Amino acid sequence: MTERPKNFGFSEDETMLRDSARKFFQDNCPVDKLHSLVAYDHDVNRSNDCNWDRDLWQQIVELGWTAVCIPEAAGGVGMPLVAAVALAEEAGKAAFPSPLLATFNATFVLNACKSDAATKALTEIAAGKATSLAVTNQQGSWEPADTDVSIDGGKLNGVSYYVQEARKADQFLVSATHADGVGLYLVDSNADGVEIVPDNIIDLTRDQAHIEFNNADAIELAAPGTGIDVINQALPAILCIVSADMVGAGEWLLQTTVEYAKTRVQFDHPLGFFQAVKHPLVNVMLDIDRAKSLTYNAACAVDTEPEAAEKFARMAKSQAGDMAVFSSSRAVQFHGGIGFTWECFVHLFFKRQMHNQVLYGDAKYQRAKLADMLIGDIA
């Protein structure tokens, strides 16, 4: 077993990657540009367009960022999870609309499949195909056994719900039940019998849909009976990636609110002079730092200590989820009247954080899982 490195595995390559991602998002996705891209229409009955910058996505693909965790044998870069975590954190700091996180999630599921078909799918991701998971049922259950899709004779039927970045994805990894158990399947997003029905969602930086399968042809990635194990193996990485997005978005909310608290004057003092504002902002910082450290630790465990990865990843997601809510609520509150308006950029991050914190299980769900692991099942 590899020894757990003190630096969480952030060697020079990972640090350089993070720094270039930070610069890339600062240059190409500043918040005013993001606001015009995704929030040009405030009407609650606005058209449900999928607003994103496809050219920017293409640049990211060409930079190789979507393939950082794909093995070199499948045409990827072969870096550890901390590299994807670093990218996800920077993407979160920019609330970047893209299928980057969805594609990372799919990558880790495919890495766990260990089949020729999965390796081929990884090659396609490395070549630029955006991919997303379709593994959730109508109730929004995060248990890998729960799917409303079935497979029979190589054909998928049923509906997958809460599929992230569905209209940005080129292909889906679908969990489906079979007489022999749950398996995993690959379908093209524009294949016959695949209909993407967009949800009307609050988060303006994201895209979500349910997908109807009607005798859709699918390629088997993980045989019936092995799908649950495969998803469980990938789950810690998935939790790390969404946690990293929340850490990045949390830092944006903190720094933006701090800037406002330095400049906005009331009662003859900048807001930050008042401890009713100062102390909760410090608490937001403490919360972010805990979430960040736990996320790096969990990613490092995925890379070097897989037996501890689930425990640490659930800790990270729990802390990041609570922090996401707290950082959002304080940012809106401390911006005061302007913070409650559509024109203030804070709502973009507020909505992304509220969306993030429920994905793959909210904080209370993670803690219930951890309680079973740490305290034992309830008698």
Partner 1 sequence: MSDADAKDSPEQAEFRAQCQDWLAKNHPGRPPVKLPQGALELYDPAALAWLQKWQKSAYDAGMLGCDYPTEVGGGGKTDCQAIANQEMQQARTPYLPNVIGMGMAAPTIFFHSQDDVKAELLPKLLSGEEIWCQGFSEPGAGSDLANQQTFAERDGDNWVINGHKVWTSLAHFATWMILLCRTSKDDKYNGLSYFVVPIKSAIGNGVTIKPLIKITGGTGFNEVLFENLVVEDRYRLDDVGAGWKVAMTTLAHERGAGPMVTPASGGMSLEEGETVSTSNAMSLVDLAQSQKRNNKTAADDPMIRDEIVKLVIRQEGMRQTMRRMTVPPLTDHPMRIPLQSKLNYTELFQDMAELAYHIEGAASSLNVTDENAPAGGQWPFAFMNSFGMTIAAGTNEVQRNILGERVLGLAKSK
Tell me, residue by residue from 313 to 352, as one string, x for binding to partner 1 by CB under 8 A and - for no binding.
Answer: --x--xx---------------------------------
CB of 209 to partner 1, least distance (A): 33
CB of 104 to partner 1, least distance (A): 20
Spatial distance between the Cα atoms of 10 and 16, rounded to a whole number of angstroms: 9
- Closest CB to partner 1 among 258 and 348? 258
Contact call for residue 374 and partner 1 (CB under 8 A): yes
SS3 of residue 98 by DSSP? coil
| Residues 37-50 as b or e (16 or more Cβ within 10 Å = b) | bbbeeeeeeeeeeb
Contact call for residue 375 and partner 1 (CB under 8 A): yes
Contact call for residue 266 and partner 1 (CB under 8 A): no
Contact call for residue 307 and partner 1 (CB under 8 A): no
What's the token pair of residue 301?
């465990």
Q: How many residues bind partner 1 (CB under 8 A)?
A: 47
Among 181, 185, 182, residue whose Cα is nearest residue 194: 185
Contact call for residue 15 and partner 1 (CB under 8 A): yes
Q: Which amino acid, 289?
A: D
Contact call for residue 23 and partner 1 (CB under 8 A): no
Tell me how far CA of residue 122 lies from CA of 107, 208, 370, in angstroms: 7, 23, 32
Spatial distance between the Cα atoms of 159 and 171, rounded to a whole number of angstroms: 15
Among 310, 326, 298, 328, residue whose Cα is nearest residue 366: 310
- Closest CB to partner 1 among 6 and 43? 6
Among 129, 168, 210, 292, binds partner 1 (CB under 8 A): 292
Contact call for residue 293 and partner 1 (CB under 8 A): yes
Tell me, residue by residue from 233 to 262, as one string, x for binding to partner 1 by CB under 8 A and - for no binding.
Answer: ---------------------x---x--xx
Among 142, 296, 334, 345, binds partner 1 (CB under 8 A): 296
Question: Would you say 87 and 96 are in contact if contact means Cβ atoms under 8 Å apart?
Answer: no
Spatial distance between the Cα atoms of 54 and 50, rounded to a whole number of angstroms: 11
Degrees to nearest 5, angle at CA 227 with 223 and 231? 145
Among 71, 62, 56, residue whose Cα is nearest residue 25: 56
Contact call for residue 308 and partner 1 (CB under 8 A): no
How buried is residue 173: exposed, middle or buried, by Cβ count under 10 Å (0-12/13-18/19+)?
buried
Contact call for residue 268 and partner 1 (CB under 8 A): no
Contact call for residue 275 and partner 1 (CB under 8 A): yes
Q: In the complex, which residues of this chain contact partner 1 (CB under 8 A)?
A: 3, 5-8, 10, 15, 254, 258, 261-262, 269-270, 272-275, 277-279, 281-283, 285-286, 289-294, 296-297, 312, 315, 318-319, 364, 367-368, 370-371, 374-376, 378-379
